[in-house]
A and B are shown apart, each in its own frame.
Chain A
Amino acid sequence: MSELPGLKEHPKTVQPHRMTLAERLWLPLFAGMWVTIRHFVKNLFHMSKLPTIQYPEQRRNYSHRFRGHHILTSRPDGSLRCVACFLCATACPADCIHIEAGEDPDVNIEKYPVVYEIEMLRCVFCGYCVDACPEEAIIMSNNYDMAFFNRSQTVAGKDDLVRPYNVDPARLGYRPHYPEEEEQRRRLQQGVVDLVAEARSRQESGEGEREVAAS
């Protein structure tokens, strides 16, 4: 700590950089030019490896932990797992969850949500509702592009939260358990994978972005 300069006595003047002879003669400009040309040529001949992504035709491949649009999960019989305990609404720092509870005909379940709405414009996608849920009834998907035509669409009701992503395991996001990581962990423990090399080859082959059909 004490060996750091300027702490005991603060400098009273400034010593601005003085240009060297080479700098005066504009010589380092050519080094800079070389950098630009190198990048230009590299990009020209390896168009597939460009860091730019042609959204929406191409999309970045986000991880399976992504905090996107919420999903209400269902029981095997198709009814919602939610028991309307209001924990998610309490945990929400943005106050964006609105629930109205009703009595479930099944005595073992007691309650179910008559209304379950999330105001998407208020939501900050912090994932606290997922952490709070004692039933794993609310999880998140990896859907991030939510566009609306009018304000009434910005409130996601039960139907919007159940239907869209429930069926496709590739679209799941933030949730308490990640089965896909178990496989990775197992392979790592056996010492058979070099994840750095995998990441490098993914980067080089441009596979980091997956293409999806524009719908």
Chain B
Amino acid sequence: MPTMTAPQPLLEKYPEGSVVAQEGLDQETWVVDRAVLKDLARDLRDNSETRFDMMLDLCGVDYPDRGESGGDRFEAVYHLYSMPNNRRLRLKVPLPEGDPQLPSLIEVWKACDWFEREAYDMFGFRFEGHPNLRRLLTHEAFQGHPLRKDYDSTQRWILPDDKVYRPKHLEEFSESAGADTDGDLFERMTLNIGPSHPATHGTFRVMAAIDGETIVASDVEIGYLHRCFEKMAETHTWQQVIPFTDRLNYCSSFINNVGYCRTVEKLLGIEAPPKAVWARTILSEFSRIMDHCVCNGSTLVDTGGLTNFWYLFQPREEIYGLLESVCGARLTVSACRIGGLIQDLPPDFEARCRHLLEIIPPLVDDSERLVVKNRIWLERAVGVAAISGEEAVEWGWTGPCLRASGVGYDVRKAAPYDLYDTVDWEVPVFYGGDIHDRFRVRMAEIRQSLSIIRQLLDRGMPEGPHIVDDPHVALPPKDVAYNQMEAMIYHFKLIMDGIRVPPGEQYDMVEGANGELGFYVISDGGGKPYRIKVRPPCFPIFSTFPYLINGGAVSDAIITLGGLNIVAGELER
């Protein structure tokens, strides 16, 4: 029984052995029997001392070896976070192969909705009590569960027309289409927005039942961009996964690189050299500016404000130039390596950064001046798709969207990484919870990011190497590898076998441009990851979307989508 960490009365009522603490891991971990899971979850949320108000991530892990030796083959892993106590907890629920069934926690944390559907899809876990347990990322005619280790990933499944999902609660609308049922002269119809629609900024399908201009019921289908990043990662070396992470949130791919590399570095027990950490912080902030510019710019395009789009895309273009001068690519940068950076920084790095600090603020100011007090925009955005802080936390929201609802949670403050605790900056918080405040939060964050970058540049670039000097992790410098036998052998070993990461597991998070971007990695000691789970920040946010748009107009749904900053690459992985 874990006694030191949980308040005694909380665990006393559970039978002996049903909640066991697992020692020696990166964070507090309890192995929980599925029979008591639901009660424990409710207690953890409601107990005044624990107050785990947020379900960050739920994923499955498959251990076929354990199954063969008579144990439980599967494990469902929950990552919980208590905002008031700034404390994290991992719950592991072992599940036998024949009967992978566990209670749905959707009544405890609403965020479980899509996460449970994803685990069902990927592993075949059956969540008892889930109201709508069907596949999420793959299609209806898909056979098998792709993230199980015995799934043959060369199989192809075709989706026939008669298997395409048609939501039941919208079907009655199709039947009564064209009818004016409530006598207000507006006809009913069902409207498909997407999968490929210019206003969705990505490929997802929104099915809306509309009465006149108002959305009465809606459903969302995703998975069109699903490429099973997590399965691919299991067949590549640790270093080879980095280009895949670029494609998660492709608007700020550098932050994804940092998040992944930091997690693996923690598992390896190494730290990037000061120069790399310094550059990572600066480039992460530039990426955040870029992402916010894209998000705000495209939200305004959806409302008809095309001018902002031009003003805001100019900084983005210039920042791409900076990233390109560092690593050679603009969008999918792959600029980090485990242990440091891809290459040494160019000599004009600081000059380029300072030049950007000169040109970005006037453009951001201009863009803001166009809309933020403009009545046309205010009437369009204030109060649209509003969500209170409490509800947002229940749904698992993080990032700027949560901070627009009055909850100042930011990973850079709650668990500072890189150099964030050494600079002076604030977390902008607004209380409207609507599109307008999401816009304002992002604009304020751009200014904070600029201030962080300015302080770091004033501090000066640290001397030293750009990557750790450890031949087991980083490739030796080329001129050494050409001339020394030992370095040459390390070079070959690293590329043929990959980095040997010690067995263990690690959850680590960075503040992505739209929330907490977490990586849960498990290593079995080989050259390839055993399991990588990404906690995509926009996944829980988008699961709220059908509830946010109900009752609003169709055009409100479009700007809601823009304002939430949904990036399909990250949502569907």
Contacts and interface: CB of A to CB of B under 8 A. Distances in A.
Nearest to B492: A87
Given A13-B388, A16-B432, A8 B84 contact: yes
B429 A17 contact: no
Contacts of B482: 134
Nearest to B244: A93
Interface string B41-57: 00000000000010000
Nearest to B317: A51
Main secondary structure of the interface of B (DSSP, over half): helix
A35 B362 CA distance: 11
Interface string B321-358: 10011111100101000000011001110111011001
A65 B84 contact: no
Interface in B179-202: none
A4 B409 contact: yes
A112 interface: no
B90 to A, nearest CB: 21
B326 A65 contact: yes
A32 B370 contact: yes
Given A12-B388, A14-B431, A128 B240 contact: yes
Nearest to A31: B369
A16 B307 contact: no
Interface stretch (B106-114, B374-382, B506-514): B374-382
B437 interface: yes
B359 interface: yes
Contacts of B427: 4
Given A11-B431, A12-B388, A195-B348, A17 B326 contact: no
A164 interface: no
A10 interface: yes
B433 interface: yes
A22 interface: yes
A199 B356 CA distance: 10
Contact of A65 (B242, B325, B392, B431): B325
B413 interface: yes
A120 interface: no
B429 A6 contact: yes
Contacts of B375: 19, 23-24, 26, 28-29
B434 A14 contact: yes
A12 B390 contact: yes
B414 A1 contact: yes
Interface string A183-204: 0110010000011101110010
Given A10-B407, A39-B366, A19 B307 contact: no
A75 interface: no
Given A10-B389, A93-B244, A181-B347, A200 B355 contact: yes
A126 B433 contact: no
Contacts of B433: 14, 16
Interface stretch (A98-106, A146-154, A169-177): A169-177
A171 B199 CA distance: 38
Contacts of A10: 53, 83, 388-390, 392-393, 406-407
B153 interface: no
A16 B314 CA distance: 30
A6 B408 contact: yes
A36 B83 CA distance: 43
A4 B436 CA distance: 21
Contacts of A93: 236, 240-241, 243-244
B478 interface: yes
Contact of A32 (B328, B371, B408): B371
Interface string A122-146: 0011111001101010001000000
Nearest to A184: B347
B434 A65 contact: no
A5 interface: yes
Contacts of A69: none
B436 A16 contact: yes
A36 B308 CA distance: 10
Interface residues of A, number: 65
Contacts of B350: 195
Given A65-B343, A65-B346, A203-B359, A16 B369 contact: no
A178 B346 CA distance: 10
Main secondary structure of the interface of A (DSSP, over half): loop
A205 interface: no
A16 B383 contact: yes
A12 B386 contact: no
A8 B83 CA distance: 7
Interface string B147-166: 00000000000000000000
Contacts of B354: 196
A93 B228 CA distance: 15
Contacts of B432: 14-17
A134 B355 contact: no
B481 interface: yes
Interface string B203-235: 000000000000000000000000000000000
Nearest to A202: B355
A148 B326 CA distance: 29
A48 interface: no
A80 interface: no
Nearest to B436: A17
A64 to B, nearest CB: 9
Nearest to A32: B370
A203 B354 CA distance: 13
Which of A14, A176, A181, A200 has most chain B Cβ within 10 Å? Answer: A14
A7 B371 CA distance: 30
B143 interface: no
A155 interface: no
Contact of B389 (A12, A19, A20, A199): A12
Contacts of B53: 10
Contacts of A15: 406, 431-432
A26 B83 CA distance: 41
B174 interface: no
12 contacts: A5-B406, A8-B83, A16-B382, A17-B378, A28-B369, A35-B369, A63-B328, A65-B324, A94-B243, A176-B478, A195-B351, A199-B351
Given A12-B390, A199-B352, 17 more contacts: A4-B429, A10-B83, A10-B389, A11-B388, A11-B390, A14-B386, A14-B432, A14-B433, A14-B434, A17-B432, A63-B346, A65-B346, A124-B243, A184-B347, A195-B352, A196-B358, A203-B359
Interface of B: 53, 83-84, 86, 236, 239-244, 307, 311, 314, 317, 321, 324-329, 332, 334, 342-343, 346-348, 350-352, 354-355, 358-359, 366, 369-371, 373-376, 378, 382-383, 386-390, 392-393, 405-410, 413-414, 427, 429, 431-434, 436-437, 475, 478, 481-482, 488, 491-492, 495-496
Interface of A: 1, 4-8, 10-17, 19-20, 22-24, 26, 28-29, 31-32, 35-36, 39, 51, 60, 62-63, 65-67, 87, 90-91, 93-94, 124-128, 131-132, 134, 136, 140, 173-174, 176-178, 181, 184-185, 188, 194-196, 198-200, 203
Q: Which 5 A-B pairs have the closest CB atoms?
A: A195-B351, A4-B408, A28-B373, A6-B407, A67-B328
